[in-house]
A and B are shown apart, each in its own frame.
Chain A
C-alpha cells in the first residue's frame, strides 16, 4: 500500500502544480474562442510564469514579513491541501488526516495570508482588496464547510477520502436532494473563492473594481509568479475537489498500481471539462454589483443549509 499511496500523493501534488497553469490557459482559450478571438494559447500562463521568474525580485519600501511570506504560504497551503484531498486515490498514507475542516482551514489560511500581505503594503488598494476579499471569504468558507458536511452525514465522518470512496461505491447517494443541493452550493462557493465572474473579474485592468487582484497589486517578478501559481492551483484544487465529491468514478480506492494511471487521465479529463463549462458560463455572465455579492453567497449558503437539513432528515427517516 505504501509505495502506491506515496506515488498517488506525489502524483496529486505534481498534477495540481504543473497542471494548474495549463487549466487556466485552457479556460482562457475556451473563452477566447467562444468570444470569437484567437486567444493566446493554452501554454500562455507558463510563458508568463517564465517571464516573471526572470525578473528581479522587488518589494515595496516599508513592507514587512507578512508581505514577503504570503506568496510562499499561499502555495504551501495549497500544496498540502492538494496532497490531502483525494484527487487520484482515496487510499494514501495521509488520507486519515484529510479531514474536511483541515482542508477548508488550509484554504482559508492562504486567503488570510494574502489579505495580510495586502494590508502590509499600506496602500489604499491593498487595504481595499483585503477588505473585500475578507468579506467574500467570510461568506464562502461556511458554505464550503456546510455543503461538504451535508455529504458527510451519510458516511458518518468528515474525512474526505471516506466520503469520496463511500460515494464511489454507492452512487445513488449523489442523486439525492442533499447531493444536488450541496453540488450547487459548492459550485457557487468555488466561483467566489477563486475570484471568477460573477463575483470578481480575473481579467480586468480596472483597479477600483478588483477584489483578488487589488490585494496583490504590489507584487512583481518571482513573487507575482508564485501568487499567480497559487491562485491557479487553488482553482485546480477546488475544481478537483468538486469532481471528486460529485463525480467520484475512476478514483483509485485500493492499493494496487493499475487504477492510478486511469485515475490520472480521468482527473485531467474531469477538471478540463469542468473548466471548459466554467469558462463557457463566464462568457454568458456578467459581474454583479459588489453589494449583490453577499446576496449571491447568502443564497449559496442557504442551499448548503438545505442540503444538510435534507441529508439529515432523509437519512434519519431511512
Chain B
C-alpha cells in the first residue's frame, strides 16, 4: 500500500516527523529533474502491514534548497549530503555540511546527475580542502590504511587515531568506486535495466534484481504468477546462504583458524555449482526477470540437507573453539540504541537486538508461518556470527518448503502489461542477504526508465562500523569489518 503526497517545501520537516514518530523509517531519498523543475522524493516505509508513504516536494530551479531532516533521522542527513554531491541541492542548516560521495577529483561545480552534466570531465580544481579531524593528545598517532589494500578487497580509506593499540576514532572514506549507475539507468528499456540492476553489487544479484523488478511491476501494473513469486523467494534464500557461508569461513580465517575457512569455501563452491544448475549462473543472475522468474532445475532437498549438515558442523567447530570464541566475544559491540539511531538494517541490526526484516515488513510472497527471524542482543562479532549461522538454517528450511511442487526447466511470466497501464512509478523493498534493499523507479510514457534509485543496505550500515570500533584494538579491525561485510560497490553507485 503506497500513498503519495505532494507537499510544499515548508511542510516537509513536520510531515517527516509525523511519519517517523508513527513508526516509519526513511527508506530512500531521490531527486528528479522534471521538465518543470527539480523534485525531491522522500520514501518512508513501515510494516507489517506493508505501508509506504512518499513525500514529494518541488524546488525552485534557480535555488534548489531543502530544509534538512538530519535532526529527525540520521540516514536523512546522509541522503541529503548524497543529493548535494550529485545534484547540487543544498540542505539548509545541515549539521555536517561536508561532502559525502563527492570524489576528490571531481571539479568544482560539476554535479554528475544534472541533465547538463555531460561526460565525466578531466580532474579539476577540487571543491575546497577536506581535512581529517586530528585527534590530539599524548601518544596519539594515526594509521592510514588503503584505499589499496594488501588483500583482494574493495577500495576504502580508513584513518585510525590510536593510542597504543586502542582505536580512539576511525574515519572511513569509501567513495572511490562511483560508476554513475543511476545515470546509466536513464533512458534504458526495462529489459536493458535488469543486467545493470544485477551488477549493482555483484554478490547481491538476486536482491537488487528483485527489488528492481518489483518496482517495475508496480509501475506497470504487471501481475506476477504466484509460482514465479515462490521461485524468486527461493533464489533470494540461495543467495543468502552462499554469502553467509563464505563470510562465516572468512571470519574464522581472520582469527587464524584456516581449516574452517577451507571447508566453508568448499561448501560455498558446492552452493555456487548448485546455483549454476538452478539458474545457469553461479551468482544466480538471470533467475529473476521482469514479470516473472526463470528456473533451469529445482534444488534437490537431499543435497541441501547434506550441505546444511556440513555448515552446522563448521559453525559448531568454530563456536566450540575456545580461542575463536574468545576473539569473537565482546569484540566491537554495537549497542541497540546506536543501531536504531543510525538506522541499521539486516544482520547488523538483528545482532544488535532490532528485528528488522523486509520479508516480514514488506512480503512479496506468502512465506507461511515458518519464518522465524533470529535476533541476538550482544551486538558484537559473536552476535553477528550467530545471527548469520542461524539464518542459514532458516533459509534452508524455507528453500525446502518453497521448492515443493516446483517443476523445471520453465520460465514463468505473467501476462504482459498494457502499454501505459499502471501508475508509472514503483517501489521494491526486498530483504537481500545484507539487509533491506530499496529501489524506486519512474517510467516515461513510452516505457523507458527515466529514474531508477537503488539503495543498498550498506549505505545505512557503514556509519555503524566506526561506532562499533570505538575502544576496540587495531588488530581486531579486520575481524570487525568482515563481521559487518558491507558493500563498497553497492554503497557508491
What is A's interface to B at a CB cutoff of 8 Å? 31, 34-37, 124-125, 127-128, 197-198, 201, 203-209, 217, 283-292
Contact = CB atoms under 8 A, between A and B. Distances in A.
Contacts of A203: 258
Contacts of A34: 259
Contact of B259 (A127, A209, A283, A291): A283
B199 interface: no
Given A289-B475, A290-B473, A292-B326, 9 more contacts: A36-B262, A128-B474, A201-B256, A208-B143, A208-B475, A286-B256, A287-B323, A288-B326, A290-B165
A201 B255 CA distance: 9
B477 interface: yes
A71 B176 CA distance: 36
Interface centre among A208, A284, A289 (most CB of B within 10 A): A208
Contacts of A207: 145, 149-150
Contact of B478 (A31, A209, A284, A286): A209
Contacts of B262: 35-37
6 contacts: A34-B259, A124-B141, A201-B256, A208-B143, A208-B475, A286-B321
Contacts of A127: 141
B141 to A, nearest CB: 7
A290 B143 CA distance: 17
Contacts of B473: 289-291
Contacts of A209: 254, 475, 478
Interface in B32-61: none
In this complex, the interface size class of chain B, counting residues with CB under 8 Å from chain A, is 20 to 34
B257 interface: yes
B478 A198 contact: no
A205 B150 contact: yes
Which one of A125, A127, A284, A287 has the greatest number of beta carbons of chain B within 10 Å? A287
Interface in B416-464: none
Contact of B143 (A125, A206, A287, A288): A125
B257 to A, nearest CB: 4
Contacts, number: 77
B121 interface: no
A269 B263 CA distance: 31
Given A124-B143, A205-B150, A286 B327 contact: yes
Main secondary structure of the interface of A (DSSP, over half): loop
B324 interface: yes
A124 B146 CA distance: 12
Give the 3 A-B CB pairs with smallest separation, nearest first.
A287-B256, A205-B151, A286-B257
B142 interface: yes
A283 B263 CA distance: 12
A206 B259 contact: no
A288 B323 contact: yes
A291 B165 contact: yes
A199 to B, nearest CB: 10
Contacts of B256: 197-198, 201, 204, 285-287
B475 A290 contact: yes
Contacts of B149: 207
A127 B144 CA distance: 12
Q: Which of A197, A206, A209 has the most chain B CB atoms inside 10 A of its CB?
A: A206
Interface in B144-165: 144-145, 149-151, 165
